[in-house]
Structure 1
């Protein structure tokens, strides 16, 4: 009994500590791929990003690099086999990236013995090379074009209403300042969303347009990264349902691709085109030579006939 009386205060303290810890637990509304979420001293929910152990702020978007890292960690855990060496996934471009502690992509990315340089959106901007490749800087993506289309509707889409509602939803859902939406072009059923954000414009509090594009892409593909609600854009009191999405990235500096690493298929096409042009030139030259010979023969025959008539 005496031992229990002495242990009772310690048990109460332990229980109080557990209750206090539970009170500080939270859920990351802006990123499903997190763990160990707790409120910090400013009551901001901070969580560990899966696959990288980097702390993220759940009041804003998580960087695309950390999101891709977490997705790859989930695929490996699920036992998904690696894709064949030459497999190509259009648009998604998913790979296991190297991220800085701040969450941004490292300028050089590698996969086994292949390395390449990327932009701030994580998109490859050079040919793949060996491990000696040097990437001097992380080139910024300052312009993003989002091409999407909507499904069948009962009502027509008013372009001006679409633009206004889309800007509002991007601000509400992705925390994007509307000034970074340069334009929204509607050509039934296609929608082009133009995001522009120069490095001089972006403040520390602003979300990056490449991250916004990635969140939107995941929403359209039914793999939302957000915990709260779905993408909701209404036009004429009817929800706009997106069918597909393609993202184009334009960097502050042009990409550094060259002809030396073109695939065999592309090289074959170029060779065929060149041979066709050369063959056309040869046929043209031969035709002109034959035509010249025929014209000379005709002139000679006419002269001979004229001399016979005169005689």
Structure 2
């Protein structure tokens, strides 16, 4: 009888330990997120056509297990290609007309990992509610945002941007506008990620406008594991030239932890999947 009781007790202790271990694994779950300027499908990009690059962009996302990626320069058909290849869904609109025309700053995500609760796009201009060009910008520029929920219930926001490559005033004003819009949209002050092609290096005022806010941190500077990869994100598709400047960034805000940060230099046959390297972080909420 005592043996039976001892056996029952041991089994109970084992099951409790197993349950606690499973719970710990669940609580410790992390996700890989990335920003990736995938270069629009330009038919003059001889040797780097989208049709040739698509499988390499998709396989990069798959191999690094990136659950959510903010892309820049994507045209509608490129998003449909990636969505079909990856089995991901996406949010966003074209910057030219607010529907499908022009480049997107879309957010692709794995629906098996995240549920979308709300979404929207605003233009980086004094009239953010409609398609428009702001300040000294050369082109329409946008920010697409999404409110997501993890399977464990955690809610977070993602803001994906593409700043102008010419107008310095536009870049600085865009940072001010995004900071203001985050406060308006994220009323519950949930954890947030701001990512994208900022077209500025950390020395630029458009960058420091964000980091001057004590709530926001460059994920690279607070990564538990020191950042991995080169000190640049723009490749121009040029295999023989050193990449120039870190202009793609990921910023974080709120109750989350940056485990890893890296600039990914995946390539194939002396070719890059895009003219920008993707920037990836592993985050734990």
Which band: TM-score by shorter chain? under 0.3
TM-score by length of 2: 0.26
Name which one, 1 or 2, has greater alpha-carbon Rg: 1
* Higher strand content, 1 or 2: 2
